[in-house]
Structure 1
Amino acid sequence: MKIEVWQGDLTTLAVDAVVNAANSSLLGGGGVDGAIHRAAGPELQAHCRGLGGCPTGEARLTPGFRLPARYVIHAVGPVWQGGGKSEAELLAACYRYALALAESHKLSSIAFPAISCGIYGYPAEQAAAIAVAELQKPRPGDSSLRRALLVAFSADMAELYRRLLEARAEPQ
């Protein structure tokens, strides 16, 4: 799977699935979550209402409705509480769960925001390292995924992703 960094608005990407940094209700909120719900239209919230929420560390798949992306994978990341409340494990699980959902639906492209880095307060460096590590893990031989985008809203986050990808690509 090819991993790329892209800076800009996640809601404009024509990929198979965009990942939403969702809250556990799945009914919309601020930041990426609010932007995705606004761009997808009211049908997304209506659909999510029937899902009954989602626990932290897991994800749920819905249609993309009015988004250019065919699907939205709603991943519920952890709120940063200092690092001693299993935040790293829960954040890593979000990426694994989203990738597995994409593969189970035979999707080839997926775009991730910086899950938990907004209002949830996860330190960007630590969150980005987890994202890169999870995306660089070998995929199953029959994986449909060919392309993953790490979407950065800011130039600083894009640079952080690029630096981490380059560092992990170098021989140890």
Structure 2
Amino acid sequence: MNDYYLAHQGRLSPQNQLMVLHLRQLFFTPEGWPVVSPERYAGTPSRRFTEADLAGEWEIIRVQEPRYERQLEAGQILWGEGELKEEEWNLSSRFHLLKDGTCNGEMVDVEGKFVLTGGKWSFLTENHLLMFDLGTEKIENLIIFAGHDWENETETILFTGLDSRGRSVWGKRIE
């Protein structure tokens, strides 16, 4: 089995110029696109999951493109241009996967706005892939794996993948 990782810088907090090294597990979608874990790597042993394991409350982030142009010099953001405006933050939402294969909750739509939505979900156990059919959008081939939830200090189930527009979708099971 081939394991891949991505190392990148992460700031300790806004307005802080200190950086730390983050390491994230890297996966490839069935189409061959690279996607990364929503959480930093912690050496959590891999395991197999069932559909029943996925039912519960999830926190989901859909990564959106920045809405505004930034001033660059030699490919670097200029001092003072690194602040995101409030409407640019990639905020998480709560989403419920029910045992009967339905799902509901709040999710960011393709416009970057929170909307109440529902639909169906399914899990391809053999390939460990999660699918959402939200009526107006299908999100397919989300890779399910075990990982560490740093915020809640516990091991959990994570997913990573791409939406219908090729933007990252990240999730972690929180209950």
Pair in the same fold by TM > 0.5: no
TM-score, length basis structure 1? 0.26
Using the size of structure 2 for normalisation, the TM-score is 0.26
Higher relative contact order (CA 8 A, sep 6+): 1
Larger radius of gyration: 2
- In terms of fraction of residues, the more helix-rich structure is 1
